[in-house]
């Protein structure tokens, strides 16, 4: 596995901080951002699935980025996310052309926190497995910084 760079660490910390804000705003504690190859933030999003079950933070960030940039341009971009992308969000990353995904909290670790909460019915499909079925490679780094990423979830889910 490729090592986490200082840039990766910085943007993961930003995503985790934003996941706290998502919770403070009454949403699920998830956040994501797309950063281009030059380190410029292209889009930032929090979870908004309370009103739209498909409005996961990753989908929101990917949608905003793909409205501005082509898949060829996004090939050099990274999706930073506070938790491992679910199957839907991993599919979104694939279809937008993102070249890298860096995530903090593993889906398996998230499941330990959410249990059987109906607000987060887990699809036990690691994003690496989904990407492995595609026709192009996506670099994946994670889990990383799980202790920090776990904190916004503590006490949130009904187990």
Question: HEC states along 46-76?
Answer: ECCCCCCCCCCHHHHHHHHHHHHCCHHHHCC
Check residue 105 and give its pLDDT: 97
For residue 91, pLDDT over 80 is answered with: yes
Whole-angstrom distance between the N-terminal and C-terminal Cα of the chain? 33
Q: Indicate which residue of 24, 58, 146, 151 is catalytic.
A: 58
| pLDDT at res. 1 | 57
Q: Mean pLDDT: which of 1-15, 48-62, 88-102, 104-118 is highest? A: 88-102
Is pLDDT at 104 greater than 90 in this prediction? yes
Average pLDDT value for residue range 76-81: 98
pLDDT at 73 over 80: yes
Is 58 designated active site?
yes
What is d(CA 64, CA 85) in angstroms, rounded to the nearest whole number?
Answer: 17
128 neighbors 107 (Cβ within 8 angstroms)? no
CA distance 32 to 34: 7
Q: What pLDDT, on the 0 to 100 scale, is given for residue 159?
A: 64
Residue 17 has pLDDT above 70, yes or no: yes
């Amino acid at each position: 596995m490729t090592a986490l760079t200082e840039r990766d660490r910085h943007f993961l910390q930003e995503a985790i901080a934003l996941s706290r804000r998502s919770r403070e705003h009454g949403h699920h504690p998830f956040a994501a951002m797309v950063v281009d190859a030059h380190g410029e933030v292209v889009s930032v999003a929090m979870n908004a699935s309370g009103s739209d079950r498909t409005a996961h933070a990753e989908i929101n960030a990917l949608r905003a980025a793909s409205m501005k940039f082509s898949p060829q341009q996004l090939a050099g971009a990274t999706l930073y996310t506070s938790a491992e992308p679910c199957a839907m969000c991993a599919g979104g990353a694939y279809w937008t052309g993102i070249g890298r995904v860096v995530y903090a909290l593993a889906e398996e670790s998230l499941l330990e926190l959410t249990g059987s909460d109906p607000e987060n019915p887990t699809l036990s499909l690691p994003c690496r497995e989904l990407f492995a079925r595609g026709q192009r490679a996506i670099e994946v780094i994670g889990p990383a910084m799980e202790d920090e990423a776990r904190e916004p979830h503590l006490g949130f889910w009904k187990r």
